[in-house]
Amino acid sequence: MNAVDLHRRLERHSGLLIFGILFVSAIGGLVQVLPSVLDDRLATPGPDVKPYGPVELTGRDIYIRESCGTCHSQQVRPLLAEVRRYGAFSRADEFAFDRPFLWGSKRTGPDLHRIGGRYSDVWHRLHLLDPRAVVPDSIMPAYPWLGERAADAEGDIQAKMRALRLLGHPYTDADIEAAPAALEGLTEVDALVAYLQGLGTSTGGDTR
């Protein structure tokens, strides 16, 4: 039976055709994606990479809510110009607690992976609430509502930490117990700034 005859059978039998499509389209995923998902080296945090505390986690979820990742990447590529501009290139072990990953695909604004510690808290706060107050040519949106809303307005921080513990993030009962208190009195902008200030501060053991 030649290939054309084989195909004639395939195209006359809907069940075979469905199976054929599923089989052929699954191969790539099974060979390329599945081994990566099972590769522990890609999921092991570096020695100084810690799970996000309640304030940083809240800030990160605000970053996701406002889709900051649409315009800002978090991925410094190992290229000379990129390392000059942003700092050390990004390593897989720094993202083991990132659900979802926020590497992004577009830099309308600059990369943020090494933004932690680059600017003062006051600068960030001003910049987030009114970007053009500190960067006159900026086309970033202003986020005035972040300054008005309490960081724990949703009251779901403990549920979030419990969900993440289910996925293997090492939070203790005491961590979860203490979480609401850590957010008390903070606004959303405080939480977001705390997240940004912690971004990319892992050195991977390199202290130069």
Partner 1 sequence: MPAGERYHDRVAGWLTGFAVLWSLLGMTAGVYIAAELVWPTIDFGQEWLSYGRLRNLHTNAVIFGFGVSALMATAFYSVQRTCHVPLFAPGLAWFVALAWQATLLAGGASLLAGWTGGKEYAELEWPIDIAIAVVWVCFAVVFFGTIARRRIQAIYVSNWFYGALIIVIAMLHIVNSLAIPVTWSKSYSLFAGAQDAIVQWWYGHNAVGFLLTGGFLGMLYYFLPKHADRPIWSYRLSIVAFWAFTYSYIWAGPHHLHYNAVPEWVQSLGMIMSLVLLAPSWATMVNGVMTVAGAWEKLRTDVALKFIVLSLAFYGLATFEGPMMSIKSVNVVSHFTDWTVGHVHSGALGWNALITFGTFYFLVPRLVGAELHSTRLANWHFWLALAGVMLYVLAMWGAGVSQGLLWLSLDEIGELSFSFKDIMASMAPYYALRLVAGVVFLSGAVLMAINLWMTVKGRVIVRVAPPAVAESAA
- Residue 110 backbone class (left: φ over 0; alpha: ψ -120 to 50; beta: rest): beta
75 binds partner 1 (CB under 8 A): yes
d(CA 56, CA 59): 5
Residues 34-63 that bind partner 1 (CB under 8 A): 36-37, 39, 42-43, 61
Selected binder of partner 1 within 69, 179, 189, 190 (CB under 8 A):
69
In angstroms, give the least distance from the CB of 208 to partner 1. 18
Tokens of 169: 């993030």
Among 48, 78, 172, 203, binds partner 1 (CB under 8 A): 78
CB neighbour list of residue 64: distance below 8 Å, 6 or more residues apart: 100, 102
Place of tokens 């970053």: 63
CA–CA distances in Å: residue 9 to residues 6, 28, 39: 5, 25, 39
Residue from 117, 120, 121, 135 that binds partner 1 (CB under 8 A)?
A: 135
Taking CB under 8 A as the rule, does residue 191 contact partner 1? no
Does residue 180 bind partner 1 (CB under 8 A)? no
Q: Does 206 bind partner 1 (CB under 8 A)?
A: no
Place of tokens 């083991």: 96
Written as one letter, the residue type at 147 is G
Out of 91, 118, 134, 150, name the contact with partner 1 by CB under 8 A.
91
The one among 52, 95, 171, 195 contacting partner 1 by CB under 8 A: 95
